[in-house]
Amino acid sequence: MTSEQKKAFLLLKLVIFNYHGLDDEEKKILEDTAVKIDGLAELKWAYDFLEDDFYANLDKARAFFSETIGTYDQDTKLNYLNMVWDATKSKGYISEMEATGILKMAKDWGVQKELLALIRKPAQ
């Protein structure tokens, strides 16, 4: 992943987790993800991007996504959204707000139907 891709992915995960307020478990998932992809600087960038005011900066984040993830190929978009979906499931639940946020992003990027098909598949 390039630095821009790491920023986009970590910001996406942060935005989805922030839909209901970021808890300690979600912060840990974000940090573990950043370590795994060598993206601690990009995670700091994502936190700074939201500037402690998630709702005021949501439109700014969606505009950033349109310029980055929105330009990626369909498989990459689906992969990012699916990884975020799986991360939310790893907590033991997906809140309605998180699911709605992920589906809104999928709609923005023209992959909603494909994402629904992907997440409806039974676990292998």
**DSSP per-residue string spanning 83-110:** HHHHHHHTTT---HHHHHHHHHHHHHTT
* Tokens of residue 51, six digits: 């500037």
pLDDT in tens, 94-109: 889 899 989 999 999 9
For residue 124, what pLDDT band results from cuts at 50, 70 and 90? Answer: low
The boundaries of the domain holding residue 95 are 3-120
Position 52 scores a pLDDT of: 72
* Tokens of residue 56, six digits: 């005021």
pLDDT in tens, 73-87: 999 999 999 999 999
- Which residue has better confidence, 90 or 124? 90
Calpha distance 79→93 (Å, rounded) = 20
**How many structural domains comprise the chain?**
1
